[in-house]
Structure 1
């Protein structure tokens, strides 16, 4: 279908944008880094997508789209399930009043909870499809700079990888003196690589135990 073909073209665009950095990191630092982290936005929020560096290199960036698809599904389902549990708690409180109306509260709860579950599934499907359809690497182009008149142009050639340096800034991008940022703008993290952890080295989780 046209929708599927359009999504395939979008995946190819994302792959082309990320490939130069992936190629550079793999060919120069593959022995150091195992994964690479790429920012991808769905128009509402920015996700830091971790993907295997070698697979991303071998597939010319297409592995990145697979990682984004998995992340979107897991995040959407996790958030929706938490909301569903809150709705079930509210439903329990509501059906308690049914006993005063000579109705079976358990029967009402079963019926209404099933309707809530179906609504959650439908909402999840629409949310996941919408996020995938709007996926893009959030790099500001020249037209956006002219419209906002507050942001500087940033392209993929200026993205850099980051080692686990405690003195490095978390935002990744530096700002020139006198340049402002639009209010409440989302911070775009650069593409960065994750350092490999050797056997018996301290675990990066901070537990102090040796990595196995």
Structure 2
């Protein structure tokens, strides 16, 4: 797991690995991990690395939170079966939910570290640095959606011809369902013309 998550080969510690106490081994792994982190920080800069950390953390939290909510729904559906085993479903639900939450937090921490440590930063060639600006120019040209610049569409022309604000549609006197019908039949509106509406 250490090799997969932190990219540290503990076999490179040599024969000292088998003679180390657990605390010493933990400290050696921590020192090695910090050395890798410092190398990445020097390569891309502290601020950029912090932004990358934020992005990775948010992405991992989002993925795992969705999975956690799905698991909670599944737990909620099946927890009542615990009553057959003479166990209180509410207490069992609380225990299971807490264990699932702790497991989710551990998974988030592990996947965040794994993704950050596996991320490799590559320097961009000077010829490629101008590419985003060219892409923006292409994008600006595409905003006219095929129309030549300066040419107005029929919709734009119609909008300018009106000039004033659009007026709301005015509805005549509203007839209630139990009012006499405006057609003059003497019946209630709901029994006469209101039946079709």
With structure 1 as the length reference, what TM-score do the two structures score?
Answer: 0.46
Higher strand proportion: 1
Q: Specify the structure having the higher radius of gyration (Cα).
A: 2
Higher helix proportion: 2
Q: Which has the higher contact order (CA 8 A, sep 6+)?
A: 1
